[in-house]
Amino acid sequence: MTRRVLAMMTVLLLLLSGCASGSGSGASQGGGIRLDGVEVREYKGEKLGSVNDFRENSIKGPQVVDAATYRLAITGLVDTPKEYTYSQVTSDHAAYEKVVQLDCVEGWSVRVLWSGVLVNDLIQEAGAKSTANTVIFRAADGYSTSLPLTYIRDNDILLAYKMNGVTLPTERGFPFQLVAQDKWGYKWIKWVTEIELSSDTAYEGYWESRGYTNSGDRDKPSLGR
């Protein structure tokens, strides 16, 4: 009990001192630079879940991705196909943060602070052709999922490289997990390697082709069509 109170006070002190607030890529509202490795557990007065609250049930287990050789490809219906290194994604693009909850169809949820780049910023650099209306995401484990281009644009959907201020651990999808807010967990693809612009609105990803809804809307049942 006393140990818990002490731990809470330490976190509070860290937050107050500013060294645990703000964006990892530079200055923040608090003016401090958040040091990687210190998990943020409260954001604007809201208690957050933890990196350790997620369950690992990926189709082939955690994928170990080497940041040095990693590439993110933007392909399909684009004017200029792109290939980014890890640091080109994280350092050459504006950073955004938001608190979003992931809900798995298996009945668990975690709400954390995500930091990342806008998927739409990457798409805009490649230049989506006017016929593109679907975004297909592929990952290092062969997993895939898709979402409407309008959903990606209208909701400022993030490709996250940090949660609670900490670089995504291997289990959480390093280097990138899609923050598919308002969608079931199976849309939150981890270990993303490719973003393909497509006109195939009927494309079905890994779980979608196994009976889960293609919309993946969190406010609707996940099974059936």
Ligand X SMILES: Nc1nc2c(c(=O)[nH]1)N[C@H]1C(S)=C(S)[C@@H](COP(=O)(O)O)O[C@H]1N2
Q: Quick one: what does residue 143 bind among Mo ion, ligand X, none, with the CB cut-off 5 to 8 Å set by partner type?
A: ligand X
> Which residue stretch of 20-28, 84-92, 136-144, 149-157 sits at the interface with ligand X (rule: CB under 6 A)?
136-144
Count the site residues for ligand X by CB under 6 A: 17
Looking at the Cβ atoms of 51 and 126, the one nearer to ligand X is 51
- Of 28, 99, 104, 171, the one binding Mo ion (CB under 5 A) is 104
Identity of the amino acid at 40: V
> Which residue stretch of 16-24, 35-43, 64-72, 139-147 sits at the interface with ligand X (rule: CB under 6 A)?
139-147
As measured in angstroms, the least distance from the Cβ of 58 to Mo ion is 9
The two tokens of residue 152 are: 């990606």
Task: Enumerate residues 36-75 that contact ligand X by CB under 6 A.
Answer: 54-56, 58-59
Taking CB under 5 A as the rule, does residue 24 contact Mo ion?
no
Q: Is the distance from CB of 215 to CB of 182 less than 8 angstroms?
A: no
How far apart, in whole angstroms, are the C-alpha atoms of residue 30 and residue 16?
9
DSSP 52-107: GGS----TT------TTT--EEEEESBSS-EEE-HHHHHHSS--EEEEEEEE-TTS
Looking at the Cβ atoms of 55 and 129, the one nearer to ligand X is 55
Q: How far is CA 53 from the centre of its chain?
A: 16
> Which residue stretch of 5-13, 122-130, 182-190, 195-203 sits at the interface with ligand X (rule: CB under 6 A)?
182-190
Q: Quick one: what does residue 174 bind among ligand X, Mo ion, none, with the CB cut-off 5 to 8 Å set by partner type?
A: none
Cα dihedral 190→194→199→203 (10° resolution): -40
The two tokens of residue 24 are: 């990892």
Taking CB under 6 A as the rule, does residue 141 contact ligand X?
yes
Q: Quick one: what does residue 172 bind among Mo ion, ligand X, none, with the CB cut-off 5 to 8 Å set by partner type?
A: ligand X
Q: Is the distance from CB of 26 to CB of 115 less than 8 angstroms?
A: no
Which segments within the chain are labelled E, that is strand?
Answer: 42-43, 46-47, 72-76, 82-84, 96-103, 109-118, 134-139, 144-148, 158-163, 166-167, 177-179, 192-198
The two tokens of residue 218 are: 């969190």
Please report the sign of the dihedral spanned by the C-alpha atoms of residue 25, residue 29, residue 31, residue 33.
negative
Q: Quick one: what does residue 11 bind among Mo ion, ligand X, none, with the CB cut-off 5 to 8 Å set by partner type?
A: none
> Which residue stretch of 23-31, 32-40, 79-87, 181-189 sits at the interface with ligand X (rule: CB under 6 A)?
181-189
Taking CB under 5 A as the rule, does residue 58 contact Mo ion?
no
Task: Enumerate residues 148-177 that contact ligand X by CB under 6 A.
Answer: 172-173
Residues near ligand X (CB under 6 A): 54-56, 58-59, 104, 139, 141, 143, 172-173, 185-186, 188-191
